[in-house]
Amino acid sequence: MKPNPAHRLVCIVLLVLSPRLFAAETRPNFLFILTDDQRWDGLGVVQAEQGDKARFPWLRTPNLDKLAGEGVRFRNAFVVNSLCSPSRASFLTGTYGCHNGVNDNLTRFPADNVTFASVLRSAGYRTGYVGKWHMDGQKGPRPGFDYSASYVGQGKHFDCPFEVNGRQVESEGWVDDVAIDYAVEFLRQSREAPFLLAIGFKACHGPFTPPPRYTSAYAGLRPRPVPNLDLKPPFHELIEPTHESKAGFVWKDSPELLAYLQFTAAIDENVGRLLEELNRLGLAENTVVVFAGDNGYYLGEHGLADKRSAYEESLRIPLLVRYPRLPAKGRLIDGMVLNIDLAPTLIDLAGVPVPSRMQGRSWRPLLEGKKTDWRKSFYYEYLPERRYPIPRVQAIRTEKAKLILYPGHPEWMELFDLIADPYETRNLINDPAWSALRQELETELQHQRNKVQCDKPATRPASTRR
């Protein structure tokens, strides 16, 4: 039989295109969702797990709970600096602030940083950023992303102007609803894989003005007390008479606390919109969805509001990962994971070499259920800002204990047994029975500081700072 010329042409075309078709089919898409100031326990599934110890047992997040049930929930996820811009920079770069140049909220993100976006874009991904960026009011297209629909600094909750690829566009409505509109449009325009979309919510950041449809949510309900409410931190004299000193009283039973949790309901609704759109477009099976908070938040614990210092409510974040192609359905992972791990994880899952400068570790072996020698401790550092009275903080957190240092104030040191005292109510630093643990943690803290190499914060060009 004579070969058919048309058949031969089709075969040749398929041979040429097949690697590209295969790559598009097997390389995962990525959807990274980052909320602002959302506590680690700000999920309905966590409140249910805590049972009679839950502070907000009536909190409901059905879409996030479903995401957790279809993927994995990390029960011990942390940030290396509990502050918005530094944490966001660490998520992007996989490094501590001393290496990426962002140690505070007054620094613009250096455009020459290597990020998961810049690496994936070089590998052929279409990359998009939507929503809050922060970084000292940085303007223009977001570094490393092909497309951005973002706003300057904190923006505002209602009728917030957006910058679409650097061009200002007015908007109407609640800011996170508008951001999800842009995100949905990006998904619809990116059906030809692979793509990366990162979304920054403004919620749960104050001022606490949720969308009108949620202003009656949880009406009349009250949070349960926890053992560390109103316990003063050792640096309390620095924060008095600021708003911080009243935090324990303000957050016990206030409209602000209720509005903060109403934000969570609105976040959950918008995450549901995104997941529904992935399903509608037929993209869910091949999309890695990561949901996280940028840092924790105090609601009166230790007499504090806000974040920054090194107690658990500030360090811990919610973290969910769903990738239907991995054997991870409803699993719980207790290993300590960090915000600096996100960048190497996404790059690894894309099958691209992880840059050696990244200090985090890929979660891939944890997601795949493989045995691995995972981290047993991590180093935390907060550098003081001129507008806030929180002092410099250095800490080492292990699976069972925590040591907190306040450089220049040895009398403020704190040591906690996190197994017996998860609310950090009893400082063991001067207890002779715990001297061996104190010495062990002091040694580990120095070891981790040397490993991180953050003794001298990195300097950046003057154009990146204000």
Each residue of 26-79: pLDDT tens digit?
A: 899 999 999 999 999 999 999 999 999 999 999 999 999 999 999 999 999 999
Length of the chain: 466
Instruction: Return the HEC string of the chain.
Output: CCCCHHHHHHHHHHHHHHHHHHHHHHCCEEEEEEECCCCCCCCHHHHHHHHHHCCCCCCCCHHHHHHHHHCEEECCEECCCCCHHHHHHHHHHCCCHHHHCCCCCCECCCCCCCCHHHHHHHCCCEEEEEEECECCCCCCCCCCCCEEEEECECCCCECCCEEECCEEECCCCEHHHHHHHHHHHHHHHCCCCCEEEEEECCCCCCCCCCCHHHCCCCCCCCCCCCCCECCCCCCHHHHCCCHHHHHHHHCCCCHHHHHHHHHHHHHHHHHHHHHHHHHHCCCHHHEEEEEEECCCCEECECCCEECCCCCHHHHECCEEEECCCCCCCCEEECCCEEHHHHHHHHHHHCCCCCCCCCCCCCCHHHHCCCCCCCCCEEEEEECCCCCCCCCCEEEEEECCEEEEECCCCHHHCEEEECCCCCCCCCCCCCCHHHHHHHHHHHHHHHHHHHHHCCCCCCCCCHHHEC
- Does 156 have pLDDT greater than 90? yes
What gap in Å lies between CA 203 and CA 363, rounded to an integer?
26
243-300: pLDDT as tens digits: 444 444 445 557 788 999 999 999 999 999 999 999 999 999 999 999 999 999 999 8
Model pLDDT, residue 4: 53
CB 92 within 8 A of CB 332: no
Q: Which of 394, 410, 390, 408 is CA-nearest to residue 444? A: 394
Q: Does residue 13 register a pLDDT over 80?
A: no
Right CATH for 27-376 from 3.40.50.10210, 3.40.440.10, 3.40.50.300, 3.40.720.10: 3.40.720.10
Token output for 436: 């061996």
> What's the sign of the alpha-carbon dihedral 64, 346, 130, 457?
positive
Phi–psi pair at 268, nearest 5 degrees: -60, -40
pLDDT at 459 over 70: no
What is the per-residue pLDDT across 54-65, written as a single tens digit (0 to 9) for each?
A: 999 999 999 999
- Tell me the average pLDDT of the chain: 90
CA distance 343 to 339: 8
pLDDT of res. 417: 98
Q: Work out the average pLDDT over 167-193.
A: 96
pLDDT at 3: 46
Alpha carbon distance 96, 449 (integer Å) = 11
Over 50: is that where the pLDDT of 318 sits? yes
Residue 457 has pLDDT above 50, yes or no: no
Residue 122 CB neighbours (<10 A): 12
Give residue 240's pLDDT band: very low, low, confident or very high (50, 70, 90). Answer: low
Q: What is the pLDDT of residue 387?
A: 81
Cross-strand pairs, 196: 30, 127
Buried b (16+ CB within 10 A) or exposed e, 379-404: bbbbbeeeebbbbebbbbbbeebbbb
In this prediction, residues 425-442 reach a mean pLDDT of 98
Poorest-pLDDT segment among 168-172, 389-393, 436-440:
389-393
Confidence (pLDDT) at 16: 41
Tell me, what's the pLDDT at 458?
46
Nearby residues of 454 by Cβ (< 8 Å), 6 or more positions away: 96, 97, 98, 99, 379, 381
pLDDT (average), residues 95-120: 96
Q: How confident is the model at residue 463 (pLDDT cuts 50, 70, 90)?
A: very low
What are the tokens at 238?
A: 């620095």
Q: Are 177 and 211 in contact (CB under 8 A)?
A: yes
CA angle (288 as vertex; 176, 195 as ends), nearest 5: 75
Q: How far apart are CA 87 and CA 96, in angstroms?
A: 9
Q: Taking 50 as the threshold, does the pLDDT of residue 14 lie above it?
A: no
CB atoms within 10 A of CB 100: 25
State the Cα torsion 404-406-410-414 to the nearest 10°.
-20
Comparing 91 with 16, which gets the higher pLDDT? Answer: 91
List beta partners, residue 198: 32, 129
Domain segments of the chain: what residues? 27-376
Confidence of residue 464 (pLDDT cuts 50, 70, 90): very low
Q: CB within 8 A of 440, min separation 6: which ones? A: none
Q: What percent of the chain has pLDDT over 90?
A: 80
Side-chain-facing half-sphere of 438: CA atoms under 13 Å: 13
| Mean pLDDT calculated for residue range 396-425 | 98
Task: Give the percent of the chain with pLDDT over 70.
Answer: 89
pLDDT-derived band at 402, boundaries 50, 70, 90: very high
Distance CA 30, CA 346 (A): 8
Confidence of residue 388 (pLDDT cuts 50, 70, 90): confident
Q: What is the pLDDT of residue 466?
A: 44
